[in-house]
Amino acid sequence: MSAPRSNPRLPAPVKRYRAGQAPTNVQESSDEEEEDEQQEQQQEPPSIQRRDHASQAIQFAQKEVITGVEQVAISDQDAASDRRLRRLKEAQEARADESGRRRRRFEEDEPAAAQEESEDEDEIAAQRQRMKQKALELRKAQEAESSRLQEAMPIEEEEEDEEEEEGSTEYETDSSEDYVAPKLIKPVFIPKDRRATVMEKERIAEAEEAAERQRLERLEQRKVESHQLLADQLKKDVMGEEIDPDSAAGPPDVDDTDGVDEEAEFEAWKIRELLRIKRDKEERIARDREREEIERRREMPEEERLKEDLERARESRKKERSKHQFMQKYYHKGAFYQDNDDEIFKRDYEVATESEINKKEMLPEVMQVKKFGMAGQTKYKHLAAEDTTDKTSAWMQKSDVNRRTMKRMGGMKDEFEHRNKRRR
């Protein structure tokens, strides 16, 4: 049995939180103390300031958490008497030792970090110096190359290049040590009269102008030639010279025989006038007949008019067909496009062609066959003169089977029966 505990610790009373009232266990600092702390923090090194700022943030976070239980320090007597209090105190001491070790380690590492930062700054400065040296060497090389290119240029171009160099700015970069700046070619000014594109445009424009001038000159030359030909012709007409009939430039022949034989001319005029009067009279008669025909058909009934139209159509289709000659080949002209008025559809297709012999009946009997002397020659003249019946076929044999079959076929019996007569 364990001995009873001496002086048991009572739990702290719980303070109720009320809105708008500060808890009693919160201690407020004065303004003077805050100002003193700020001055001390400003005088401390940056590393210590950062560490204090972190600790203050932790303390502020702890202060914000209000549990309602008053925190009391644990004494050695209480820890010896209570096992739980002893474990709690040991845990607090272990946390305090750990935070102290971390603080000492951080303070020891600060000088080394500061030394490394200083070394890094020195390395960066050296690297920048090397990059500046490389840029300066590259610029000198570019200037040397541009000076070689400008030796053949006029003085005015050199002055413009110098002005451009004065207005340009130097570009520097903080890239790595292995970076090599690309080689840039300096632009060279070319005067307008020496540019290839401008010269090409001028050459094309000059060629077009020359072609236009040549065209105008050719037109002017043709005008002059035409005027000269006209002047020569007029001069020949005035002087009465004979005109060469073969000359294409001469005017056409003119009938200047008026007044040579007035009586013959008068008789010819009378004939022309009589023919004109006859033609006018025939046209007038044809118009009168057409008008009378129109009036007559208007007064006719519809049935008579239709009957007359059919009769005229029948007569118009009647054509005089030429008679085929002996063994003449027949050509069918077709059944389509027969209503056209072209001359080719009005030809007589019954006439023999040039390749056919017109009168084959005058030839010897052996030659009166189709395609005589050719590979496709036949032994018959035509179907009208030849009997092509096959007497050796089964249908031509006289047998009982054929007779019975023929009797059953329609139209092969001798007697005739009326269709209205019924069989019993």
Same domain, 36 and 117: yes
pLDDT band at 193 (very low <50, low <70, confident <90, very high): confident
DSSP helix/strand/coil, 270: helix
Same domain, 38 and 73: yes
Which pLDDT belongs to residue 170?
Answer: 46
Beta-carbon-side half-sphere exposure of residue 302 (alpha carbons within 13 Å): 0
End-to-end CA distance of the chain: 150
Which pTM value belongs to this model?
0.23
Identify whether the C-beta of residue 359 lies closer than 8 Å to the C-beta of residue 394: no
Same domain, 235 and 278: no
Of 121, 151, 172, the residue at which a domain comes to its end is 121
Same domain, 47 and 117: yes
- DSSP class of residue 93? H
Residue 285 lies in a domain: yes
Query: What is the average per-residue pLDDT within 181-199?
Result: 77
Identify whether the C-beta of residue 347 lies closer than 8 Å to the C-beta of residue 322: no
Same domain, 42 and 109: yes
Identify whether the C-beta of residue 361 lies closer than 8 Å to the C-beta of residue 326: yes
Question: Count of domains in the chain?
Answer: 3
Residue 283 lies in a domain: yes
Per-residue three-class SS string for 199-253: HHHHHHHHHHHHHHHHHHHHHHHHHHHHHHHHHHHHHHHHHCCCCCCCCCCCCCC
pLDDT band at 272 (very low <50, low <70, confident <90, very high): very high
Residue 77 lies in a domain: yes
Of 76, 105, 121, the residue at which a domain comes to its end is 121
Of 121, 150, 177, the residue at which a domain comes to its end is 121
Same domain, 85 and 46: yes
In Å, how far are 45, 134, 283, 300, 379 from 178, measured between CA atoms? Answer: 37, 11, 114, 119, 110
User: Which of 82-96, 214-228, 248-262, 389-403 is predicted most confidently?
Assistant: 214-228
Identify whether the C-beta of residue 169 lies closer than 8 Å to the C-beta of residue 201: no
Question: Structural domain of residue 277, as residue ranges?
Answer: 266-310
- Name residues whose C-beta falls within 8 Å of residue 402's C-beta, 6 or more positions apart in sequence: 394, 395
Dihedral, CA atoms, 317, 321, 327, 330, nearest 10 degrees?
Answer: -30
Element (H, E) at 276: helix 262-299
Same domain, 272 and 234: no
Residue 8 lies in a domain: no
DSSP helix/strand/coil, 225: helix
pLDDT in tens, 30-60: 555 666 666 666 665 555 555 555 455 444 4
Residue 23 lies in a domain: no
pLDDT in tens, 341-370: 778 877 777 888 877 777 888 888 888 888
Identify whether the C-beta of residue 161 lies closer than 8 Å to the C-beta of residue 151: no
Residue 76 lies in a domain: yes
User: Could you count the other beta carbons within 10 Å of the beta carbon of residue 81?
Assistant: 15
Same domain, 210 and 271: no
Residue 7 lies in a domain: no
Which pLDDT belongs to residue 277?
Answer: 95
d(CA 323, CA 4): 162
Same domain, 89 and 45: yes
Q: Is residue 327 scored above 70 in pLDDT? A: yes
Q: What burial class does residue 146 get, using C-beta atoms within 10 Å of its C-beta: 0-12 exposed, 13-18 middle, 19+ buried?
A: middle
d(CA 355, CA 372): 13
Query: In one letter, which amino acid is 284?
Result: R
User: For 303, phi and psi rounded to 5 degrees?
Assistant: -70, -45
Query: In one letter, which amino acid is 16?
Result: R
Residue 156 lies in a domain: no
Residue matched to tokens 């632009």: 187
pLDDT in tens, 101-137: 777 666 666 666 666 677 778 888 888 888 988 898 9
Which pLDDT belongs to residue 305?
Answer: 92
* DSSP letters spanning 393-416: SGGGS--HHHHHHHHHSTT--S--
